Amino acid sequence: METKRCDWANQSLLEQKYHDEKWGIPIFDDKELFKMLCLEGMQAGLSWSTILQKMEGLCKAFDNFDPDIVVNYDEDKEAELLQNKEIIRNRLKVKSVANNAKAYFKICEEFGSFSDYLWGFVNHTPIINSWKSITEVPAKTELSDEISKDLKKRGFKFIGSTIIYAFMQSVGMVNDHLLDCEFRRVGKN
């Protein structure tokens, strides 16, 4: 019998593995949240499949998006990255990583952790949606608009509302697994 997944996760084995093992499972680790935010920013205008295909190269090139390291990236490092064929070679996206690390540390200082800041928007509990079809799932919401606006105010780049909603889905702040998906995990997180 075929495994029932969300419709988007049936195009490749990479998508299936990501969907089955990571997507929608709550993440509370500051560095993992920062990494996922950076990856979602890299995805802007591209498919998530492209990011999955380049994931290993991206993580290697960007020191696993460790904010303690990337905050110190300078113009030389950015120039080096722009020559790397293993990553998304968009100058603004590359520059945004170090920029966002600086903003990340300001949030950690103000809120105690990046996790407390982000999860505070959902009262530290995942939003559980009940979608029957992928066509019902929104690209953004009022909440993703609010988070995006607040992150922009705090200096973040590549964090539009659609990127933020995809981020919320990926880190489990919102559970958008379809009702008939075997990986829905409601109450099992």
E strand or H helix that includes residue 128: strand 127-128
Note the pLDDT of residue 2.
82
Query: Which residue from 159, 169, 182, 145 is spatially nearest to 16, judged by alpha carbons?
Result: 182
Is 131 an annotated catalytic residue? no
Residue-range definition of the domain harbouring residue 126: 27-175
Name beta bridge partners: 128.
175
Q: Binding site residues for Zn(2+), as ranges?
A: 6, 19, 177, 181
Arithmetic mean of pLDDT, 34-51: 95
Is 187 within the bounds of a domain? no
Task: For residue 15, give both structure tokens.
Answer: 């998508």
- Asked if the structure places residue 16 within a domain, the reply is no
Residue 21 lies in a domain: no
In this prediction, residue 10 carries a pLDDT of 81
The reply to whether 189 falls in a domain is: no
- Alpha carbon 32 to its chain centroid, in Å, reads 9
* Domains of the chain: total: 1
Catalytic hit among 40, 117, 119, 165: 40
Residue 153 resides in a domain: yes
* Annotated active-site residue in 23, 48, 73, 117: 48
CATH number at residue 69: 1.10.340.30
CB 106 within 8 A of CB 154: yes
Distance in angstroms (rounded) separating the CA atoms of residues 113 and 183: 29
What is the structure's pLDDT at 187? 56
Distance, in Å, from the CA atom of 164 to the CA atom of 87, rounded to the nearest integer, reads: 21
Active site residue 48: yes
Q: Is 23 a catalytic residue?
A: no
Residue 65 lies in a domain: yes
Active-site residue identified among 15, 18, 73, 165: 18
Q: What are phi and psi of 174, to 5 degrees?
A: -135, 135
pLDDT tens digit sequence for 86-111: 999 999 999 999 999 999 999 999 99
In a domain, 11, yes or no: no
Q: Residue 62's closest CA among 81, 43, 83? A: 81
9, part of any domain: no
Q: Please choose, from the candidates 180, 175, 155, the residue with its C-alpha nearest in 3D space to the C-alpha of residue 165.
A: 175
pLDDT over 70, % of the chain: 98
Tokens coding 139: 């690209």
